[in-house]
Every structure is written in C-alpha cells, then in structure tokens.
Structure 1
Amino acid sequence: MMDIQGGEVLNEVKRQLLLAGPLFSIGLLQYSLQIISLMFVGHLGELALAAASMATSFVSVTGFSLLMGMASALDTLCGQSFGAKRYHMLGLHTQCAMFVLLVVSIFLVIITSNTKMILIALHQDQDISKGAGLYARYMIPSVVAYGQLQCLVKFLQTQNIVFPMVLSSGIAALIHILLCWILVFEFELRIRGTALANSISYWINVCLIALYVKISSCCSETWTGFTVDALHNVLAFLRISVPSALMLCLKVWTFEMVVILSGLLPNPKLETSVLSIWLVLLLSIRVSNELGAGRPRAARMAAYVALVMVVVEGVLVGVLMVLLRDVWGRVYSEEEEVVRYLATMMPTVAVSSFFDGVQSVLSGVARGCGWQKMGAYINLASFYLVGIPCSITLAFVLDMKGKGLWLGVVSAFLVQVVFFLGITVRTNWDKQVTLEHCSLLDLNLLAHNSHLFNFIFLSG
C-alpha cells in the first residue's frame, strides 16, 4: 500500500499542471500547423480536402511518427540523466539523436516523394492519390525539420523548460496562418501553398528553439556545443529508439490502415475526408525525472496522479466533443455531407479520445521506465490482433462503414489500457530505480570505453 499524504498529492498535481499546461500548448500549437492547413484546403473543395488529408496522414505515418518515436528515446535517456544530475549527458544524447534522425530522414524523403505511386499501388482513388502526391512533395522539407524539432523539444522538456517552446510554437503558428493565406489565395498556389507553408513554419520553429538553446543560460550545463563524442552513444540510443519507434508506429500505422480502408468504402472522398480529420502527448518526462533522481515513491505517485487527472480531463473533453458535434465539421469543410457525417461520428470519436488519453498516460510510464520493447509487444497485440480485425469486420462484414473502422480502433485502445494498467499497478518502483541507475552507469561506461578506444587508436 502507498503511504502518501494529501499534501504530497496536491504538490504533485501542481507540478504536473505546471508542466502539462505548457506541454499541452506546445503540442496543440505544433499540431495546429497541419490543422490550419487542412482548414484552408477544406474550403477548396471535397477532393482537395481528401487529397491533403490523405497526404498528411501518409506523411505523418511514414515520416513524423517514426521520427517522433525514435526521438521519444530521449524521454528515457535525457529524463533519467537530468534526474541523476548528469547534465552533460543531455547534450550528448540529444546530438546523437539529431544525427541519427537526420540520416533516417534521408530515407523518409525518398518514401515521401513517391507518395502518389504508393497510394495507387494500394488501390486508392486515382484523383485523391494524384492530389496527395502533389501535396506530399511540398511537405518534404518539413519531414527533415520535424526530426530535428522533436530532438530539441525532448531536450528542453526533460529539463522542465517549456515556456520558450510555447512562445516559439506560437510564433510559428501565427506565421503559418499568414503564410497559408498568402500562398493559397494571393499567390494562388492552392493545395501546394498549404503544404509549402507547413514546411516553412516547421523550420521557423526549429530555428527559434535552436537559437534559445544556443544563447540561454538555462542550457549552459546541458548543452556545451556540438562534439563528435556524441556519436559514441549511437548504439545505446538505437537500443532504446528502435523499440520506442515501434511502440508508437504500431499504433499510428493502424490509423493509416484505417484511412486506407476508408478509401475502399463506397464514397472514398467522404470517408477519407472525415476519418483523416481525426488522425493527426507528459507523464514520461515526470516519471523518468523521478526515477533518475532515485525517488521511486515520487515516481509512483506521479503515475497515479496523472492517471486520475487524465480520466477527469477525458470525460470533460468527451462531453464537449459531443455537445459541439454539429459545429466541428464546419471548421474543416463547407460540404454539408461531410459536416453531417462528422456529427454522427463524434460520439465514437469522443470514446476513442478518452481511452487514447488513458493509454497515453500508461504508456508514458513505460517510456519513462525504459520499457519500450514491452510497449511495442502490447501495441502489436492490441492493434494487429484485435483492432484491425475488428475494424474490417465491423466496416465491411457488418456494413458499419466509417463508424465500424473507428470502433475497431476503440477496441484496440481498450486492450492497451488493460495491459498497461496491469503493468503499472504491479510495478516495483524501488527495484525500478536500481535498474535505472545501473542503466545510467552502463551508458557512462560505454562512452568511457569509446573515448579510451579512440585515444589508443589515435596514439598508435
């Protein structure tokens, strides 16, 4: 049983709210770039919206999700290093991640440039595939920027430095609105303009955050400049980043399958427009900080407090989504059919949003503890043994169409919650602290051995 006082719980709630508020703003502002783009495109017609939605979903799944998943390894590495006061390691881990993600981005650019051919090969609508391919080509610069952005964001988040990122993301979002208006309507680039605005806005955000890291005294101990020593940790980074990427991608790839399956329904433009609108994270940082600092009791309390908070938030957001179900559609499209269909889908989306929030917190515990491999197995079982089969059965066999596809996703979220909740409840936090400190010692030993090898090699 946990021996936790009411005052400690209140302090933990305050800590998480002070971190969650800005983090929510950062995520919302960064995600708003794609949402704003879809809003502009939505008023160009149903086909344009379907094409841009398909391209955004495809690039997010093949590029953004992989980069975000790999970068989330920094939640563990930087979070625990910061909690253990090994500040210099944060900069080394981040530089290593930036290099690895830059290399990965080269391969992602090749995939993105062939979006049209890939979609056609997947038997998607010819017109939608053509428009999506055009949109994706203009998003290529944003793929490279996104990987670097995620590394910088994780670097600052694990130090609880969040307000500068709120400011930079806000500036980028405001500039994005202006860029979309100018490129779409003034320069008449239409669908190409919104994709190009996306790329420019992402790079603006990267430059602003990089400038802050360079000149801020808050990062003087954690960022000491670029060094080749960071490359010594590549293998250690890959050991965590690959399972981290799988943990996220197995989930997000399911969403892409849902979008692709929606293109096989009788009205692909309508189904794709509606479902793609809904496809587009906090606790891992708090937990990893506490474990790295050797505070198992605080880490345990952070997990349970966040779980209660996300349940309350999920209920409130779900109710709001249902109450405003007739309003949301008009933000994205002027097509009455899209607006009406979106309204009928809203209760299902509200339920999925609730369970997704709960599983996100519970999977955040896994990331903070470094259990990415276990999380990948859970996601594999949840989405590919339960979610996708349920989606296909409900949508095509029982003829529930788009709602059936989404209910399959809800079933996967439910399985995730059951597994992650069981793991969280049974976690031995004192033992976990011991394991995390051993892990940090292993990383330092690996770096030391690399330095020694280089010294012997160069001396010889």
Structure 2
Amino acid sequence: MEKEDENNVSVEPHAIQISGSNDEQVKADDHDNDNDTTAVQVPQTKTSLVVKEVKKQVWLAGPLILVSLLNFAIQLISIMFVGHLGELALSGVSMATSFSSVTGIALMMGMASALDTFCGQSYGAGQHRMLGVHAQRAMIVLMIVCVPVSIIWANTKSILILFGQDHEISAEAGRFAQLIIPCLFAFGLLQCQTRFLQTQNIVIPMMFSSGATTVLHVALCWVLVFKSGLGSRGAAISNCVAYWVNVLILAVYIKFSPSCSQTWTGFSMEAFHGIPSFLRLAIPSAVMVCLELWSFELMVLLSGRLPNPKLQTSVLSICLNTESTLWMVPFGLSGAISTRVSNELGAGNPWAARLAVRVVLVMAIIEGTLVATVMIVIRNLWGYVYSNDVQVVRHVALMLPILAASIFLDGLQCVLSGIVRGCGWQKIGAFINLGSYYLVGVPSAVVLAFVLHTGAKGLWLGIIIALILQALGLMIITARTDWEREAEEATKRVNDSITPDVS
C-alpha cells in the first residue's frame, strides 16, 4: 500500500519538505482523516508547489531576458550609428555582423551551453567546487576554438568575394571583422561566466553588468564614430571595449563575491582533465545552435535570388529582426528551465524536474499565444517601424500572420531546447535539428519559394515546417522521459566528472 501511494503522488516528498516538520505533517494527516478533507488539502499543496515553481522561473527568466536584450543592443547600436555614415558603411558592418554570427558567435554560444548540463547538475548535487572547474575547462576549450575562427574573420573579405559578394561591401566588412576579433575572445569568456552564474541562480549581477556596459557602449560608440573620425572602425573598437568591460566586471564579482566563494576557488589544473568529456556535450550543443541559426541566415541569402530581390530581402530582414528580438523572451525561459531541470536532476529530485518542465511549457504556450495575437492585430502598422515604403509595409503586413505562427513555434522549441540542455540530451537535439531544418525545412522552403513561386512567404513557410518538426520531436522525447532514470544519469555524470583537487 505504501508503494502504491509513493507511485501515485510524485510531488509528495517535496510537499512534506515545504509544509513543515514531520510531526506537523502527521497531525495534519490525522485532522484530514477526522474531517475527510484530504481531497481539498492535496490540490492546495500541489497549487502551492506550482506557484512556487512559477516564481522561481520568472525570477530567473526576467533578468536573463534583459541580459539577452542588452547584449543584442550592443550590435544594434553599432549598426544604428554606422548607418548614419552612409550606405556602404552600413552594408559592410551589417554583412560583417551576420558573418561573425554565423562563423563564431553561434559556435561560442553553443559550446558554452554544455555548462548548462555540467554546472547545473553539479550545483544541484552539492559539488560546488566542480562548477569552477567546469567553467575553467570551458574557457580553455573556447579560447582554443577562437584561434581558427579568428583566422577566418581575418580573411572575411576574401571569403565574401569568393561567394560572389560585392567587392566594396566585402572590403568594408573585412575591415570591420578584423577589428572585432578581440570581441570573439571576450564573448567566449562571457558565455562561460554567464552559464557559471546562471546555473547557481545568480542572475541579477549579470543584468547590472550588461546594463552598465551597454550604457558605456552608447557613449563610447558615439564619440569614436562621430567625434574621433574613426567611423565604422570606432564602432568595432567600442564593441570590443564593451564586451571586455563586461567580462572584467563579472570576473571581479566571481572572484570576490561571497555567493561564489564555494564555486570559484581559484584556477586549478583539474580544468585540463576531462576535456574529452566536455567536448562530447559541447560539440553537439554547438551543432544544435549553429544548425538552427544558419537556416535563418540561409533564408535571407536565398531571398536575394527571388524576383524583386531588394523588396523580398527587405521584408525577410524585417521579419528576421522582429523574430530575433521577440525570441529573447523564450530564450530567457529556456535559460531558466535548463537551470531548474539540471539543478533538480543533480539533486536527485525527479518529481521537481518534471514539475518545472510542465510549468515552463504552459508559460511558453501562454507567452507565445499572446505575442502571436498582438503581431496579427498590428500587422498593418508594424512595417512602419522599419520603413516608410508603402510596398514594404504592405508585404510585411502579409507576412506577419506567418511570422506570428513561427514566433509561437520558435518559442516552444526554445524552451524544449532548454530542457534538452538541462538533461544532457544535446546529441539527440542535434540530430533532431539536422533532420528538421536541412532534410525537410530548407528543401521545402526552396520548393515553395522557387518552384511554386510563393516568394518570401514560401521561404518562411519552410522555416515553419522545420519548427513544427523540431518542436514535435523534442516534445515527444520530453513526454516519454523517465525522470527517475534521468536523475540517476545526472548523478552518474556528476560523479564521473569529479576529479581530485590538484590545484
């Protein structure tokens, strides 16, 4: 009978911890039996658990959303300032920004996200010292990866010309890409610091450091671009300064804050051990992120081959920029759920991990529905935010219902990807993304746009098909998860990663 109760009520162990001492729980049970009110008490306990979980995730996601928006603003501010220098400067910097995102930034984000699994589960298991070791190991690997990427960035001009891009624009993009090479190293370190703090539920300091560096970037970029005569080179220098200042602020916080005293115990030679284990998660993590990002960039490139390419590219770029901005909200939820799941699995609390997953999926569906509805309502006005061209505005209005559907699906897959990172399923996620985008989504987009002549709509519908398959695949895996087994796997992963202290 006891075994049956344990199986039927998965959240009860957690409920007992919250409700008070064991004696108080026994008294409550006796009182329930006398008055036959058990049916009322249990739902209230479950409701309180859900409310508590919602608060935890909102507390994590809110600052993470702001951090993402502020970091995104650094690139946006640079492009806005450079845009006042002329069409050539704007085109070159925009191309360099896209090129750097595809070849380096996505790679850094993806590889660093392996720390969601390693640091999150170690923190949940109480192996606090290992968080610093994992973070240092990731920093070493990412700094090594930055070297070949830097060589690629140094040859941006030649690569773009090789792919048939305009020589003048390629030259401008090449100069900008060379100057932002220091940004790459700073961004890699920043990603490791962010995951290190996030998995400990420390998010407020990141929000303040990102805010401070963004304000600094606005002032410095204005001075360097317009007052010093450096032009677009000034924007590149300001980018580098902003990222490195952010890294230094967080480094000082990690070093001296009491919150990190147990997780950061100084540099250790342990970081050089276990690199193959880190790569086994980091590589598929990078593949997951890169495959998705590359597919969206590919749509913009393909739009240049459509009839009236100037209009089609403008419309698709507006849609992509809109989705990228609105994506920050589910991205924050994704970071929150990866932390919650990894912490609870590491702590051996499968019921709490399952509850966290259910809560975030409901939140993502509600958020996606609200945003999609607003997009549809304002579809005839949204184009004016980007352009006064009536034709562009009209085409954006026609695209927005399709964009609304993709925003909903992208938000859903984003939080599901967070669950993947929290559990350590990156290899499965990489295969799902490969199949969804490149075996089905991109070919469908090409057929719809160029064979059936649906233009930019067809390209975006191809993305929607990919998002549906991606979300469906991740949802099936999540629904079929044995959370007790995942908790055991997390414990095994944490134990396998522990190395003797050789600092």
1:168 corresponding residue in structure 2: 209
Q: Which deviations, in whole Å up to 9, do the C-alpha atoms of 1:400-448 show, x marking residues without a partner?
A: 333322221121111101101101111010111111111212222xx34
Question: SS of the residue aligned with 1:160?
Answer: coil
Distance 1:426 1:197 in 2: 48
Bigger CA drift: 42-51 or 292-301?
A: 42-51
Counterparts of residues 324-363 of structure 1 (less than 5 Å): 324-325=378-379, 341-363=395-417
Counterparts of residues 120-131 of structure 1 (less than 5 Å): 120-131=161-172
Structure 1 residue identity aligned to 2:198: Q
2:125 corresponding residue in structure 1: 84
* Contact persistence 1:49–1:273 (CA under 8 A): no
Distance 2:98 2:377 in 1: 27
Counterparts of residues 95-244 of structure 1 (less than 5 Å): 95-244=136-285
* Unmatched segments (≥5 aa) in structure 2: 1-7, 12-45, 325-330
1:364 partnered with 2:428: no
Distance 1:336 1:102 in 2: 47
CA shift for structure 1 position 334: 6.8
Decide which of 362, 386, 395 is 1:308's aligned counterpart: 362
Question: SS of the residue aligned with 2:348?
Answer: coil
Are residues 348 and 129 of structure 1, via their aligned partners in 2, closer, same or farther at CA, if it must alter by over 3 Å? farther
Decide which of 441, 445, 460 is 2:495's aligned counterpart: 441
2:52 corresponding residue in structure 1: 11
Decide which of 60, 63, 72 is 1:31's aligned counterpart: 72
Are residues 96 and 337 of structure 1, via their aligned partners in 2, closer, same or farther at CA, if it must alter by over 3 Å? farther
Bigger CA drift: 314-323 or 349-358?
A: 314-323
Distance 2:373 2:84 in 1: 28
Question: SS of the residue aligned with 1:388?
Answer: helix
Distance 1:116 1:388 in 2: 27
Distance 1:324 1:17 in 2: 27
Distance 1:319 1:50 in 2: 33
Question: SS of the residue aligned with 2:267?
Answer: coil
Distance 2:301 2:92 in 1: 12
Question: SS of the residue aligned with 2:263?
Answer: coil
1:293 partnered with 2:347: yes
* Contact persistence 1:93–1:233 (CA under 8 A): no
Q: Which deviations, in whole Å up to 9, do the C-alpha atoms of 1:211-232 show, x marking residues without a partner?
A: 1111111100000111222111
Question: SS of the residue aligned with 1:390?
Answer: helix
Decide which of 98, 105, 112 is 1:71's aligned counterpart: 112
Identical counterparts, % of pairs? 53
Distance 1:271 1:139 in 2: 30
Are residues 304 and 239 of structure 1, via their aligned partners in 2, closer, same or farther at CA, if it must alter by over 3 Å? same
Counterparts of residues 385-396 of structure 1 (less than 5 Å): 385-396=439-450
Are residues 332 and 37 of structure 1, via their aligned partners in 2, closer, same or farther at CA, if it must alter by over 3 Å? farther
CA shift for structure 1 position 132: 2.7
* Contact persistence 1:325–1:343 (CA under 8 A): yes
CA shift for structure 1 position 329: 5.1
* Contact persistence 1:50–1:270 (CA under 8 A): no
CA shift for structure 1 position 66: 0.5
Distance 2:182 2:338 in 1: 29
1:457 corresponding residue in structure 2: none
Distance 2:189 2:232 in 1: 25
2:101 corresponding residue in structure 1: 60
1:420 partnered with 2:420: no
CA shift for structure 1 position 393: 1.5
Question: SS of the residue aligned with 1:221?
Answer: coil
Structure-1-length-normalised TM-score: 0.91
2:291 corresponding residue in structure 1: 250
Q: Which deviations, in whole Å up to 9, do the C-alpha atoms of 1:139-160 show, x marking residues without a partner?
A: 2221111100000000000000
Bigger CA drift: 7-16 or 186-195?
A: 186-195
1:403 partnered with 2:444: no
CA shift for structure 1 position 30: 1.1
* Unmatched segments (≥5 aa) in structure 1: 455-460
Distance 1:340 1:182 in 2: 38
Distance 1:336 1:139 in 2: 36
Question: SS of the residue aligned with 1:11?
Answer: helix
Are residues 385 and 159 of structure 1, via their aligned partners in 2, closer, same or farther at CA, if it must alter by over 3 Å? same
Distance 1:402 1:117 in 2: 29
Question: SS of the residue aligned with 2:273?
Answer: helix
CA shift for structure 1 position 332: 5.2
Structure 2 residue identity aligned to 1:305: V
Structure 1 residue identity aligned to 2:291: L
Question: SS of the residue aligned with 1:223?
Answer: coil
Distance 1:333 1:139 in 2: 29
Structure-2-length-normalised TM-score: 0.83
2:304 corresponding residue in structure 1: 263
Q: How many residues align?
A: 449
2:21 corresponding residue in structure 1: none
Distance 2:373 2:92 in 1: 31
Query: Aligned-residue CA RMSD in angstroms?
Result: 2.4
Are residues 239 and 421 of structure 1, via their aligned partners in 2, closer, same or farther at CA, if it must alter by over 3 Å? same
Give the number of the structure whose alpha-carbon radius of gyration is greater. 2
Structure 1 residue identity aligned to 2:428: M
1:321 partnered with 2:375: yes
